[in-house]
Structure 1
Amino acid sequence: MGESAAKKQTKRGAVDFVAGGVAGLFEALCCHPLDTIKVRMQLYRKSGQKPPGFVKTGVNIVQKEGFLSLYKGLGAVVIGIVPKMAIRFSSYEFYRSFFYDSNGNITTGQTFLAGVGAGITESIMVVNPMEVVKIRLQAQHHSMKDPLDIPKYRNAPHAAYMIVKEEGFKTLYRGVSLTCARQATNQGVNFTVYSKLKAYLQERQNTEILPSWQTSGIGLISGALGPLSNAPLDTIKTRLQKSSYASNESGWVRIIKIGKQLIKEEGINALYKGITPRIMRVAPGQAVTFTVYEYIKDLLTSDSIKKPVKLN
């Protein structure tokens, strides 16, 4: 590989890192309250009363714990969002590079596989530890309006420290198989639908750079499809990662046990707890992510020649 080629590859990696990090930060700031509501809905246990819906859950959190409680766990997300998005986009492009033919084309199936690979990679390297910490923070029912109401976990670094100290480092990887399965399906569907719709609009409008509203629209559509395909995985994962007790059972044994117990006590619909706020969080999140990512990437590479990739 020549020096110029090496420099170009380094620049592409830096662009993916910066653009992905900025996009992820905007996504977290815009959509984290919806994620907190989703987690509370998934952790709600049947008590003879009808489970509160999306709006009521959010209102209850604000009334009892303060508006800023909707941002519980944001620190864990922000700390992990830059490497997460950098790994997501750079690994996706890396896996895609194996599939291009001599004309630079790639099939829809190959795009899906690259997305699956990106989802698994980000799960292991960043997402699972970040989510264990985030869920522990979000699950705390303490009021941020009362200075005397001191929670067990004060912030993301403190929560991570306490979890490792009390339960061991491996606790940060509790539910990793479910996280990998969720992220793999999410990113497989996400990147495939986004790439397909983007290529279609580029070809139809005979333009390489789409307006932001179209990027947001296809990001919204692609982001909404993933949660529908893996909601039960996400609900079981949340229950598993919230638990703080140690167990000698294997991960899959506990996963199956939690799933069976959930269905037995609360019915099959319990597996889809939080699906409304999850879609409302993930879909706009992907719209924000792709729009900001494309915008920042275009700013950083405006001097380069880009060619739209065709999906067969």
Structure 2
Amino acid sequence: LPHQDNLITTLPAKLINGGVAGLVGVTCVFPIDLAKTRLQNQQGIQVYKGMLDCLAKTVRSEGAAVNLTLVTPEKAIKLAANDVFRQKLSKDAVIINLIPSLVLAGCGAGTCQVVVTTPMEMLKIQLQDAGRLGELFTGCCSGAGSIAGGPPPPARSAPPQRPSATGITVELLKTRGLAGLYRGAGATLMRDVPFSMIYFPLFANLNALGRDSADGQAAVQAQAPFWQSFVAGCSAGSVAAVAVTPLDVIKTRLQTLQKGEGEDTYRGIIDCTRRIMTREGPSAFLKGATCRALVIAPLFGIAQGVYFLGVGETVLGLLG
């Protein structure tokens, strides 16, 4: 990553790079992220048969505005924090590309981003899952989508109302205070820290492939071609995404406020893990894994591309 390895790059430039990367990336992958949330929240009644079926039944992209608005600071913090931590671990103005240093920097980045990630995920999940609950109600009323071998669940008197980001925020602040927006913070931290600890070291090593030389330091400082940074970001992102999918399923379930008929509510991470294992089996922890890989891979490929192009540095140069 050329700009990561250059200590002259300023923090504002890093924040701009991360923000632009998140904004562009999430615009491209939002529909798949929407499918991921709905698939992970399916417990008994199977409204969707898979990712393609979910996308086919989805007409509107609920939660897009929240995701587009809050992913900008979230990605800015994540990518910039990783840079800062790597620089703090540097020696003689050269960032050490050793695995322990990269893992530690990734851990710091994952911890910092939770400040923005948790409320973003809280709002996004409610808005994205509203469509699934609507489909669930429709299925119950028509007698479709019942659990195999059993009678259809009783229909509700009225379909669930579609929430708004403002409505959810106001209600949570009114009833639970600021802590309401940070429901599931522990689960978010449990997912994001391991993700960053896997992603950043893996990306750094993939990005350095083919640049080995007698002088290891020169190989680290050499600039990889654009396509290599993009592919390294996609590859590292997909591996890290699949690796932490079980933690993402737990986080999604804990942060979902409105449940369908017969769906479990959970008292915490341990209770959620136990109930999912007991009622749905181990395979439930991989729900949405394909969607998650398809979301994260291009998202981080684009992020590394933005860093490669030096968008932040260019913007600051024009303003200066």
Q: Same fold (TM over 0.5)?
A: yes
Asked if the contact 1:216–1:288 (Cα under 8 Å) also holds between the matched residues in 2, the reply is: yes
Q: Which moved more, 1:225-234 or 1:193-202?
A: 193-202
Q: Deviations over 1:18-51 (max 9, x none)?
A: 111111101110011111000000011223x696
Q: In the alignment, what sits opposite 1:279?
A: 293
Three-state SS of the structure 1 residue aligned to 2:92 is: coil
* Counterpart AA for 2:53: K
Distance in structure 1 (CA, Å) of the matches to 2:228 and 2:315? 20
Please name the residue that 1:110 is paired with.
Answer: 101
Q: Deviations over 1:176-201 (max 9, x none)?
A: 11111211111111111111122234
Paired with 2:23 and 2:95, the residues of 1 have a C-alpha distance of 31
2: CA distance between counterparts of 1:166 and 1:152? 19
1:232 to 1:11, Cα distance in 2 relative to 1, 3 A:
closer
- 2:70 aligns with one of 69, 72, 80: 80
Contact kept? 1:21, 1:83, Cα under 8 Å = yes
Is 1:56 paired with 2:47? no
Match of 1:219 in 2: 233
| Pairs within 5 Å for 1:38-53 | 38-47=36-45, 52-53=49-50
Amino acid at match of 2:36: K
Separation of aligned partners in 1, 2:294 and 2:25: 12
Question: Does structure 1 residue 197 correspond to structure 2 residue 191?
Answer: no
What residue in structure 1 maps to residue 27 of structure 2?
Answer: 29
Give yes or no for contact 1:137–1:159 (8 Å, CA) kept in 2. Answer: no
**Shift in Å at residue 131 of structure 1?**
0.2
Distance 2:70 2:8 in 1: 22
Relative to structure 2, which stretch is displaced further, 280-289 or 130-139? 280-289
Aligned to 1:133: 123
Please give the alpha-carbon distance, in whole angstroms, between the structure 2 residues aligned to 1:27 and 1:113.
25
CA gap of 1:301–1:83, structure 2 versus 1, over 3 A, is closer
CA RMSD of aligned residues (A): 2.9
Structure 1 residue 94: deviation in Å?
1.8
For 2:19, the aligned partner's letter is G
Q: Distance in 2 between matches of 1:201 and 1:14?
A: 31
CA distance in 2, matches of 1:18, 1:103: 23
Quote how far apart the aligned CAs of 1:59 are: 1.3
TM-aligned CA deviation for residue 298 of structure 1:
7.8
User: Hey, what's the Cα distance between the residues in 2 that align with 1:273 and 1:218?
Assistant: 25
Tell me the TM-score normalized by structure 1.
Answer: 0.79
Is 1:180 the counterpart of 2:171 in the alignment?
no
SS at match of 2:208: helix
TM-score (norm 2): 0.77
User: What is the CA distance between 1:134 and its match in structure 2?
Assistant: 0.3
Percent of pairs identical after alignment? 27
SS in 2 for 1:129: helix
Equivalent-residue separation in structure 1 for 2:227 and 2:82 (angstroms): 24
Q: Deviations over 1:123-161 (max 9, x none)?
A: 1x2000100000010011259xxxxx994423x333322
In 1, Cα distance between equivalents of 2:301 and 2:16: 18
**276-285 or 196-205, which deviates more:** 196-205
> How far apart, in 2, do the equivalents of 1:201 and 1:10 lie?
25
1:95 matched to which residue of 2? 85
1:60 is aligned with what amino acid?
Answer: K
Count how many residue pairs are aligned between Structure 1 and Structure 2: 275
CA distance 1:223–1:11, shift in 2 (3 Å): closer
8 Å Cα contact 1:167-1:244 kept in structure 2 = no
In structure 2, the residue matched to 1:232 is 246
Task: Decide which structure has greater helix share.
Answer: 1
Deviation at 1:299, TM superposition (A): 5.5
> 1:173 deviation in Å?
1.1
2-side partners of 1:44 and 1:27: how far apart? 26
How much does 1:202 deviate? 4.1
Residue pair 1:77, 1:130 contacting (<8 A) in 2 also: yes
Larger CA deviation: 86-95 vs 96-105: 96-105
Counterparts of 1:74 and 1:293, CA distance in 2 = 24
